Amino acid sequence: MQLPVMPPVPPMLAKAVSGMPDGALSYEPKWDGFRSIIFRDGDELEIGSRNEKPMTRYFPELVEALKENLPPRCVLDGEIVLVGASGDRLDFDALQQRIHPAASRVKLLAEQTPAKFVAFDLLALGDDDYTGRPFAERRAALEKALAGSKAPVHLTAATQDKETAEQWFRQFEGAGLDGIVAKPLDGSYQPDKRVMFKVKHERTADCVVAGYRVHKSGPDAIGSLLLGLYKDDGGLASVGVIGAFPMKRRQELFAELQTLVTDFDGHPWAWAKQEEGGRTPRNAGGSRWSAGKDLSFVP
């Protein structure tokens, strides 16, 4: 493979804003999937992830589709997504299941839950590096490059009209999309830099803190809090974790929670102790995202 932009490349990022920004911007739906940069040089094709690790082997159906739909030599930024069984919304949980170490399982999932690729930026085309060019020019070239593309390869919708973007923001919330991304029309492609804007849907909930994990720096700081919501039958459902705290707050939380520490007797996730040695509150097995990690928690 010999391209003007070679892997690995960290993708350009977006900074969160509270409202739809104004200015010379291009607005796009914010897809809920795996951020991916596609490198294609003839018969060679590589799918890179946000953390710059190759994902090619996990999506064999996309490799063939991308070869059929992309220009012979190009580098594209986009999102791998998966439409759920209902057919009307994206299913990120099902997409996560596509990352599996067994080749036989990868092949089976490619047939049962095929993924799609949504392109939204162009980094290189032929022998030309497009990263230094303004987004307006990159978008025009991308539209031309994908003019004849067919499913499962798609070009993201885009508009320069703020009112249309606000309508999309309201309309797409129930379809599994994250919100809206706004890109400066005169902006260059800057890997790993937050030069775009993102407006995300926000929902709040009063959650139960069911436990915590200690921070990797030592046993006197919180790494993350395990959150739950009670179901109608009284059971406590795991709804995720939160761990975006400054170190000082991690240490304060650790001290505050010590009087509440209990054991697994009578805990809603007591089965976690028996099944996994207290490793996880999710009764659904592991994944490659958690492989090799200590997922034990303090109830």
Residues 65 and 184 in one domain: yes
Q: What Rg, from alpha-carbon coordinates, does the chain have?
A: 22
Which one of 15, 30, 107, 116 is the catalytic residue? Answer: 30
Single residue among 136, 167, 200 that ends a domain in this structure = 200
> Residues 144-172: what's their mean pLDDT?
96
Residues 125 and 263 in one domain: no
Q: Please give the pLDDT value at position 151.
A: 95
> Residues 155-170: what's their mean pLDDT?
96
Proportion of the chain above pLDDT 90, given as a percent:
63
Look at residue 276 and tell me whether its pLDDT is greater than 50: no
> Residues 265-288: what's their mean pLDDT?
55
Residue 289 lies in a domain: no
pLDDT tier at 277, thresholds 50, 70, 90: very low
pLDDT tier at 295, thresholds 50, 70, 90: low
Look at residue 291 and tell me whether its pLDDT is greater than 90: no
Look at residue 206 and tell me whether its pLDDT is greater than 50: yes
Q: What is the pLDDT of residues 112-127, one digit of tens each?
A: 999 999 999 999 999 9
Beta strands, E only, the chain? 13-16, 25-30, 34-41, 44-49, 73-81, 116-125, 128-129, 153-155, 179-184, 194-200, 208-214, 222-230, 236-242
Most confident residue range from 97-111, 218-232, 245-259, 279-293: 97-111
Query: At 7, is the secondary structure helix, strand, or coil?
Result: coil
Look at residue 62 and tell me whether its pLDDT is greater than 90: yes
pLDDT tier at 272, thresholds 50, 70, 90: low
Q: Please give the pLDDT value at position 179.
A: 94
Stronger pLDDT, 277 or 244, i.e. the higher one: 244
Stronger pLDDT, 30 or 242, i.e. the higher one: 30
Single residue among 200, 224, 239 that ends a domain in this structure = 200
Q: Please give the pLDDT value at position 287.
A: 40
For helices 103-112 and 60-69, the axis angle rounded to 10 degrees is 60
Residues 158 and 241 in one domain: no
Of the CA atoms within 13 Å of residue 73, those in its CB half-sphere come to 13
Range of the domain at 114: 13-200
Residues 155 and 218 in one domain: no
Residues 136 and 177 in one domain: yes
Residues 51 and 182 in one domain: yes
User: How many structural domains comprise the chain?
Assistant: 2
pLDDT, the chain, mean = 89
Q: Please give the pLDDT value at position 44.
A: 97
Single residue among 134, 166, 200 that ends a domain in this structure = 200
Look at residue 56 and tell me whether its pLDDT is greater than 70: yes
CB neighbour class for 278 (10 Å; exposed up to 12, middle 13-18, buried from 19): buried
pLDDT tier at 271, thresholds 50, 70, 90: low
- What is the model's pTM? 0.72
Indicate if 116 belongs to the active site. no
pLDDT tier at 269, thresholds 50, 70, 90: confident
- Helices and strands counted in the chain (H then E): 7, 13
Look at residue 83 and tell me whether its pLDDT is greater than 90: yes
Look at residue 110 and tell me whether its pLDDT is greater than 80: yes
Q: Please give the pLDDT value at position 205.
A: 84
Q: Please give the pLDDT value at position 238.
A: 84
